Amino acid sequence: MFRFMIGLILLSSCSLGTVKSGGDKPYVYDVFSEYSLDDLKELSPHIVTTFSRNPQKGKLDDLFSKKQLPIKRVGILVFESEIQPTRSGLSDENKIFLSEQGKQLLTEKLFSVWEQSFSILGEGIELIKVSKIKKSKAFKLDGLDVEDYIKTQRYSLAPDDIFYLPKGKKTTMATILNPRGMRDLSMALVPASEMMAGPKFSEHAKHTLNEVAKELKLDAMFVVMNRIHWTASHVDKHSGAIIPEEVVITLEASTLIPLSIYRERMKNLGEIRDIPNTTIAYRTYESTLKIPVLISVQEELQTFDTIEKELLGPTLKTYNDLSQMLQMRIVEDIKRTHN
């Protein structure tokens, strides 16, 4: 009971002073519609929720006013995916599952969407490619090498990567996946994105973020978490309700400011004493979309072609649109710091 109470106190302390905006119409997205960039821009404030919170010392409005240096040069430090996790590594009634290789390949597809989209949406903001971040000396000093499940140079999903399984068969135990070649900055079994992200100051991996940013002259870095899971049609054993077939896609991202830049910005405000040695979040974003899919089909149709058409296609199309909407919010907020 004592531990439970402490947990509640910590949870409430993390949310105190948080300002929330947007995200008032989370389910207006139609997977069968082709959205233009203008359409997505109009939808993004309604679908994406933005959070901000003043750090322990200083106010965000002052720290990121146009009198301060603008955020111009950014990079992705953490990119993680949690895709169709299973309990105890056993398949259930959701029918379609991935291998470790499949999860990593899908993670890399999501990652490529970010690098390609930001180059279009982030005009005036320079996104440093992760291929360059990987080579930095500071990046190699912390965390662990990400396990590479893909033993050959390939980038597309195949029938061995995602497949139908009857209930009770063994599935992959791997849950949180990263692109090949990145660093795993998590602590124990807690995702790095959960430790570092959110509208709060952060002590976790603060020196890693700070040193990478200093080496590559970055003004801010992104921490991104993708959560994707699907449900086959079934009857809830408790309520008796019929559960529809759908995919739920949740995307979370934070724009983090290295501790050295935080201190510089405080110095510009005339504050030089007792400045916390922490990473701060400029903004945090999250959004969830649910889309209908077809998972339950006759046995002769339980093929990779069906999975590609009925599950992967709609999922990737929706993720592409959702990530662009979230990036639009990030870019708009970053440009508020520009003259």
- Cβ atoms of 61 and 336 closer than 8 Å: no
What residue has token string 């005009």? Answer: 123
Given pLDDT bands bounded at 50, 70 and 90, which one contains residue 213? very high
The ranges assigned to domains in the chain are 19-335
Q: Write out the two tokens for 159.
A: 């029938």
Q: What is the pLDDT of residues 87-113, one digit of tens each?
A: 788 999 899 999 999 999 999 999 999
Q: Write out the two tokens for 261.
A: 């830049």
CA distance 256 to 195: 12
The answer, as to whether pTM is greater than 0.85, is yes
- Cβ atoms of 249 and 325 closer than 8 Å: no
pLDDT of residue 71 exceeding 80, the answer is yes
pLDDT of residue 2 exceeding 50, the answer is no
313-335 and 100-121 helices, crossing angle to 10°: 40
23: region left, alpha or beta (phi > 0 left; psi from -120 to 50 alpha)? left
Region 251-261 average pLDDT: 97
Q: Please name which of 208, 200, 186, 162 lies closest in space to residue 304, comparing C-alpha atoms.
A: 162
Q: What is the pLDDT of residues 15-55, one digit of tens each?
A: 568 999 999 876 778 999 999 999 999 999 999 999 999 99
